[in-house]
Structure 1
Amino acid sequence: MGSNRLLFLASMALSGALQASDAPTTVPLEDFNRHAEYTAVRISPNGEYLAATAPIGDRDVLVVLDMKDLKPIKVHQLPDNKSIAGFFWAGPDRLMFTATRKFGQFAQPGGTGEWYAVDANGERPRVLVTYEGTTTSGSTSFSQRVSPVSALREDASRVLVQVTTGTGSEEGDRAELMEMDTFTGRMKRLARAPARNCDFVLDADDKPAFANCADNKDRDSFTEGHGQVYRRADGDWTKIFDSRETAGRLRVSHVDPDGTVYAVQHDNAKPNVMGRLDPQTGAFSPLDSDPRVDMLGEVIAADGKTLIGVTRMPGKPEVRYIREEHPDAQLLAQLSAAFPGQYVSLGGATLDGNKMVVSVQSDRNPGEFYLYDKSTKQARYLVSTRRWIDPELMSEMRPFTMTARDGVTLSGYLTVPKGRELKGLPMIVNPHGGPHGPRDMWGFNPEVQLFANRGYLVLQVDFRGSGGYGKAFEQMGYGEWGGTMQDDVTDATQWAIAQGYADPERICIYGASYGAYAALMGAVREPDLYRCTVGYVGVYDLRLMYSEGDIRESDTGGNYLESVIGKDRSKLDERSPAARASEIKIPVFLAAGGRDRRTPPEQTDAMEAALIAAGNAPRENILEPKEGHGFYEVPARNNIYSKMLAFFGEHIGGTVTVGESRTESASGGSD
């Protein structure tokens, strides 16, 4: 029996108990708001342990499980309310991990710079890099950043790290490749970067082979600069690429055991291209490209060294194989066939490559992890991210493309309520946050699934300015907050109406962060299109971005603001919902976190005051004093979403039951 058939049977056995009819079933509100049980999952090099991050309270811990019975043998956690973020196996039974602080649902966690090492069973713990930036040997200063580059997994005492020293000068930072002792924190220098602002790329023998560098000295804005690639041979660096001398940018991404060098090229306009690089001449040979979307990542074989493919997401995620003949490429293809309609990816593997973690996820499946054994060709279920979610009760996320009023092609997703015909549905338009860099992605989204479960069609569109579609598409949004970016959201809404998907009399617009800005500007610009609007941890007064919040606190952030919203006061007012509150005629719902540093509550205060002055006070204005950029605690999340659903139900509810929840789990799971 083939391995794909075995895996298919395994997946059917796991999901068989959760089969449900096509009739809509109301899933408890709490089930969508509970945090994932496990996130990243990695097997130890010797195959004896499984390590995974897991939330406990308001922070993430590192759990080590015994592979024999999957019972926890140790829980590693940090003091001072810090969470464990990135981690990896530094050896057969030794872990390294770093610390972070959480700032809310929509904020990027802020790394503290600390690194720790500990044995799987909790013995021989060691602080390697402290918050103050010093190691136990005193070799690292506060201005230095330590980033692991390679784990020498057969030797738990050594890892390779890049130490980047901030110089504070216009020329930029200096990097060194160091060997770190995971028991003492002491370091030994292996190589210095050839220029400023460099990142090392190692070959398959963990030797420094290339350096990708950036020269920002004469850059025109925060997004522009020049790039160089250096090759190292016999201890000497030779420059083989300079963007000042040729069009576009180039960076080396990977070196295979056979010496093949892979690089990613882009021309500051179109989506990036993956290809091979001649290490002697710097000549680039394209292998994979897509006219619409950037490459998301690389697919690495079980040996941790061989590149077998890349992933892109033109709608749903796709694996583009670079080495189709490789056994792991063939295995991945078999695994993907065993889980139709889902995205299968290879995780970490044992040192001998015989056992590997396989991740399976989709728009309806939050994520499951399996252990695949190459010798037996069988898959063993390990853990799920949200085991209480029944995929059979979730809703389909359908990719779409459309044409904006000026001819620009836009992509997005429609999440269709399970059991409902895609026709005349009440709809929530949900512009994403960011806005420059992020994009909407196909996959399980608890918030979107909650709305769909309550009967709403959810529309998400990647308006111009979104990331992932090439630099030109992203830069089309600079200076267009409230302008063509807003037009794209409007055009997508009108498109859904024209297709007959949405009931034009039952549409609300909701977003968080920048999405909240777009939701309120939508109410300003299109007073007759939406029946209600919701802004969650949003920005509403563009002038305030120069005086409140953390973006303005760095030179890069200041340059960003000048590039994307400008400094013209009259235009800032014209593009600010708070300055145009008198034009908002529909009901408004607002929510903010008292500890939000990205879009501080002063933004919501300004919006509320302007609406009150205009005679349209918000129907709800929730302030959670202890929350940040998005609510993290489950009670706070339950509160806001229950009130939000009641708000939607009042204005576009129709025949669909909204806002209700049960306390029991839909699938019988428990904490």
Structure 2
Amino acid sequence: MAGFPLFRSLTLAGAALLSHGAHAAAATSPPPPVASFFSAQQVSHAALSPKGGYIALTTMLPDGIQALVVRDSTNLSKVTLLARSTADRAVITSVHWINENRVGFTVRNLDNEFEGNLDEFAIDRSGENRVHLIAGNWKHQQKQVGSNMVNRTLTAAYSFHGVTHDGSDDILVEKYTWNNTDRTPDHSRLMRLNTRTQALRSAFDGTQPEAVQSWLTDGNDVPRVVTAQVKGRCITSHRNPADTSWSEIGNSVCYQDQRFAPLFFDGADTLYVTANYKGNGALFRYNLKTLKMDPEPFVETPGYDFHGSPEIDRVTHKLLGLHLHTDAATTVWLDPALKAEQAKIDAALPTTINTVHCAQDCAASPVLLIASNSDRQPQRFLLYTRASGAVIGLGGVHPDIVPAQMGPRSFHRYAARDGRSIPVYVTLPPGKPSGPQPAVVLVHGGPMVRGGSWEWDAEAAFLATRGYVVIQPEFRGGTGFGADHFQAGWKQWGGTMQDDLADAARWAARQGWADPKRVAIMGASYGGYATLMGLIKDPAVFRCGVEWAGSTDIKLRFTTTESDASQEILGYSLRLLVGDPDNPADAAMMRKNSPLLRAAELKQPLLMAHGLMDRRVPIENARSFAAAVKAGNPNVTSIIYNDEGHGWRRPENSIDFWTQVETFLDRNLKQAP
């Protein structure tokens, strides 16, 4: 088929030689342009069919149109084009096999960001029998047959939940219900939807617990465990397959109590949960008959909370292995054959982390799918033929990136001023810089998330190619590094969480990497807040800043009418984690640490950007702060993207933004003071 990338089959040894040669050839090439880092992904969403006979993926055609294609895994020259999506108006965000003959895919409508914007489709791998299952537009008119809601396209009150594994044409969807207050759904119910007839029915019989927010199904796709958050309590309930009622198996104060969290079922009906073990979250087996957890963990990752996903054979019901993240990604195989195949693949691709995925019927699949990346290599996909050992490249998300042109990325821990150990990722400029270099402290959003991993990070890689040392602290208050690390950040916006960022800059200077007189701070969302507070609180540390989608007034989180935060979040979660505006001490802290109230103190150069349609951090945050800071600071630039929400979803806006970032840093940071 014309317009698709060519594929080249390699022996295992040949793959390693090719990688080395490509690195050597590119050692002195100029760095890639901005678009190479932030353009639309060229090849993505690769997925094996249940028996491994086919692979579906999205690819960008030469005319800039995103396409969904299916290839025969034993003869990749056999290509079927299933769908085309204009990249500037809509983008395919998920691809999933319903059965060996049928593919489902999700489309995000970029013009309809907040009024329901996810469409769901299903189509045969031959390109026939395409059905529009869910319309991501509230104005879509339902077609009803009598009183039975069948044979119709569902509205945006539904969303794709997951596939079934019984060979049928069914998928699982969630039906959302709203209360009279919140923009976000109050609860959902799990349904089965036939992707040919569009017949819709409940996935289980009986009632369900209050305020269900998430669903967990067993190896037979039967809903078995649900979680809810009600008045600050996190509640987990379960049911046996034949039951019509649910029983609580967990009820604790959210975040505060050491509760367990259900993660997945293996095919043999064993529930796996995370729970505290020696200060970190570990993976345990949980017996639903005795309602007890094993005394010892199934997997523990000392120094890190368990974060991983299972590889399960849906035919034999065996748990084959676990894909894990510690400082970087790895896989622990329980299946000896896959462990041996992983070793062969790693020997062929020694410079990358190679995450191997098997088909649902793993034993019968002729191929394995490899998702490969490193600190210098964006994700690419390869196919491993089990009989011959051949490795075939399928393409990558950013093929213009040459690893030899990228800087190395490493993981460290530094001591904050109070002695707390803070994890941090550092990306250095390519080559061997002579002496300390200008640096950027890049602050992740959330903040109650883990910021990153060792693998490719487009923002850090881009900044490093422009000559900056990039410092990414996993500051207290983030997750992934134990309960104590998380809880140490409660009600510390602008406090010790902020101190961790200044301490990171000073630590990098002591290592000889960063020039202490040329350090910038930048970030999005919470990272945008931290950028503004860093410039205000530590003007001797941070010379300039870049923030986008940032919160500028802590109290505004509670008072704005444009936010998507639910009453549950406003009434409980934010008050525990950020601060309670009705508590005098917390209210004083929030006034002290709100950038808007201290805008007159910010004198350094600042670049701001915000999406007009942002509902997570509404536009009033940017407008009020820009007006306040510009009154006393002439070196402030404010950008508004009229067609964006919370962050950049359109590649053209990402490219424009990072082009302006490059110019801003070149003018305000790169040159010595």
TM-score using structure 2 length: 0.83
Q: How many residues align?
A: 634
Q: Is the 8 A contact 1:438 1:466 kept in 2?
A: yes
Do residues 437 (structure 1) and 449 (structure 2) align?
yes
Q: For 1:520-571, what per-residue CA distance to the aligned partner results, in whole angstroms no more than 9, with x for missing partners?
A: 1111111111221122232222333344475355323423443424325543
Q: Is the 8 A contact 1:523 1:586 kept in 2?
A: yes
Alignment partners' CA distance in 1, 2:167 and 2:234? 40
TM-aligned CA deviation for residue 401 of structure 1:
0.8
Name 2:274's counterpart in structure 1.
265
Q: Which runs of 5+ in 2 are unaligned?
A: 1-9
Question: Where do residues 238-637 of structure 1 align in structure 2 (5 Å cutoff)?
Answer: 239=247, 241-243=249-251, 248-257=258-267, 259=268, 261-267=270-276, 270-285=279-294, 286-301=297-312, 305-321=317-333, 323=334, 325-347=335-357, 349=359, 351=361, 352-421=364-433, 423-548=435-560, 550-559=562-571, 560-563=573-576, 564-567=578-581, 569-614=587-632, 616-637=633-654
From the superposition, tell whether residues 172 and 23 of structure 1 become closer, same or farther in structure 2 (CA, over 3 Å).
Answer: closer
Do residues 138 (structure 1) and 160 (structure 2) align?
no
2:106 to 92, 98, 107: 98
Alignment partners' CA distance in 2, 1:537 and 1:319? 35
Alignment partners' CA distance in 1, 2:248 and 2:442? 45
Name 1:666's counterpart in structure 2.
none
From the superposition, tell whether residues 199 and 606 of structure 1 become closer, same or farther in structure 2 (CA, over 3 Å).
Answer: closer
Q: Is the 8 A contact 1:20 1:393 kept in 2?
A: no
Alignment partners' CA distance in 1, 2:652 and 2:228? 48
From the superposition, tell whether residues 353 and 111 of structure 1 become closer, same or farther in structure 2 (CA, over 3 Å).
Answer: farther
1:89 to 97, 102, 110: 97
**Larger deviation: 595-604 or 546-555?**
546-555
Alignment partners' CA distance in 2, 1:454 and 1:496? 18
Q: Is the 8 A contact 2:117 2:156 kept in 1?
A: no
Alignment partners' CA distance in 1, 2:394 and 2:597? 53
Name 2:127's counterpart in structure 1.
122
From the superposition, tell whether residues 626 and 59 of structure 1 become closer, same or farther in structure 2 (CA, over 3 Å).
Answer: farther
From the superposition, tell whether residues 431 and 120 of structure 1 become closer, same or farther in structure 2 (CA, over 3 Å).
Answer: same
TM-aligned CA deviation for residue 188 of structure 1:
4.5
The code of the aligned residue for 1:478 comes to: W
Q: Is the 8 A contact 1:95 1:119 kept in 2?
A: yes
Name 1:646's counterpart in structure 2.
663
Q: For 1:394-446, what per-residue CA distance to the aligned partner results, in whole angstroms no more than 9, with x for missing partners?
A: 11110111122223221110001111248412111111112222422222122
Alignment partners' CA distance in 1, 2:301 and 2:666? 41
TM-aligned CA deviation for residue 279 of structure 1:
3.9
SS at match of 2:409: strand
TM-aligned CA deviation for residue 348 of structure 1:
5.1
The code of the aligned residue for 1:606 comes to: S
From the superposition, tell whether residues 138 and 357 of structure 1 become closer, same or farther in structure 2 (CA, over 3 Å).
Answer: same
Provide the aligned C-alpha RMSD in A: 3.7
From the superposition, tell whether residues 85 and 110 of structure 1 become closer, same or farther in structure 2 (CA, over 3 Å).
Answer: farther
Q: For 1:631-660, what per-residue CA distance to the aligned partner results, in whole angstroms no more than 9, with x for missing partners?
A: 4444443433233223222333249xxxxx
TM-aligned CA deviation for residue 591 of structure 1:
2.2
TM-aligned CA deviation for residue 360 of structure 1:
0.6
Question: Where do residues 214-233 of structure 1 align in structure 2 (5 Å cutoff)?
Answer: 214=227, 216-217=229-230, 219=231, 221=232, 224-232=233-241
Q: Is the 8 A contact 2:133 2:195 kept in 1?
A: yes
Q: Is the 8 A contact 2:82 2:123 kept in 1?
A: no
Q: Is the 8 A contact 1:608 1:617 kept in 2?
A: no
Q: Which runs of 5+ in 1 are unaligned?
A: 656-671
TM-aligned CA deviation for residue 115 of structure 1:
3.0
Q: Is the 8 A contact 1:100 1:111 kept in 2?
A: no
Alignment partners' CA distance in 1, 2:557 and 2:213? 31
From the superposition, tell whether residues 70 and 520 of structure 1 become closer, same or farther in structure 2 (CA, over 3 Å).
Answer: farther
Instruction: Calculate percent identity across the aligned residue pairs.
Output: 24
The code of the aligned residue for 1:441 comes to: S
SS at match of 2:43: coil
Q: For 1:184-226, what per-residue CA distance to the aligned partner results, in whole angstroms no more than 9, with x for missing partners?
A: 111344523674128655444x263x72233544x4x3xx423
Q: Is the 8 A contact 1:193 1:211 kept in 2?
A: no
From the superposition, tell whether residues 239 and 597 of structure 1 become closer, same or farther in structure 2 (CA, over 3 Å).
Answer: closer
From the superposition, tell whether residues 99 and 558 of structure 1 become closer, same or farther in structure 2 (CA, over 3 Å).
Answer: farther
Question: Where do residues 57-72 of structure 1 align in structure 2 (5 Å cutoff)?
Answer: 62-65=68-71, 68-69=76-77, 71=79
The code of the aligned residue for 2:353 comes to: Y
Name 2:5's counterpart in structure 1.
none
Alignment partners' CA distance in 2, 1:70 and 1:489? 52
The code of the aligned residue for 1:340 comes to: P
Do residues 159 (structure 1) and 170 (structure 2) align?
yes
From the superposition, tell whether residues 449 and 199 of structure 1 become closer, same or farther in structure 2 (CA, over 3 Å).
Answer: closer
SS at match of 1:191: coil
Alignment partners' CA distance in 1, 2:86 and 2:664? 40
SS at match of 2:121: strand
The code of the aligned residue for 2:607 comes to: F
Q: Is the 8 A contact 1:371 1:381 kept in 2?
A: yes
SS at match of 1:464: coil
**Larger deviation: 443-452 or 166-175?**
166-175
Alignment partners' CA distance in 2, 1:94 and 1:398? 42
TM-aligned CA deviation for residue 303 of structure 1:
5.1
SS at match of 2:381: strand
Q: For 1:265-316, what per-residue CA distance to the aligned partner results, in whole angstroms no more than 9, with x for missing partners?
A: 3249943211223343233221111243222222305657532333443322
SS at match of 1:192: coil
From the superposition, tell whether residues 477 and 45 of structure 1 become closer, same or farther in structure 2 (CA, over 3 Å).
Answer: same
Alignment partners' CA distance in 1, 2:467 and 2:91? 36
Q: Is the 8 A contact 1:510 1:534 kept in 2?
A: yes
Q: Is the 8 A contact 1:260 1:276 kept in 2?
A: no
TM-score using structure 1 length: 0.84
1:32 to 23, 30, 37: 37
TM-aligned CA deviation for residue 361 of structure 1:
0.9
Q: Is the 8 A contact 2:408 2:429 kept in 1?
A: yes
Q: For 1:108-149, what per-residue CA distance to the aligned partner results, in whole angstroms no more than 9, with x for missing partners?
A: x99646432112233212233444596876159869645444
SS at match of 2:489: coil
**Larger deviation: 190-199 or 118-127?**
190-199
Alignment partners' CA distance in 1, 2:115 and 2:301? 33
SS at match of 2:17: helix
Alignment partners' CA distance in 2, 1:22 and 1:368? 20
Alignment partners' CA distance in 2, 1:625 and 1:244? 42
Name 2:4's counterpart in structure 1.
none
Name 2:12's counterpart in structure 1.
7
SS at match of 1:89: strand
Q: Is the 8 A contact 1:343 1:360 kept in 2?
A: yes
Q: Is the 8 A contact 1:294 1:470 kept in 2?
A: yes
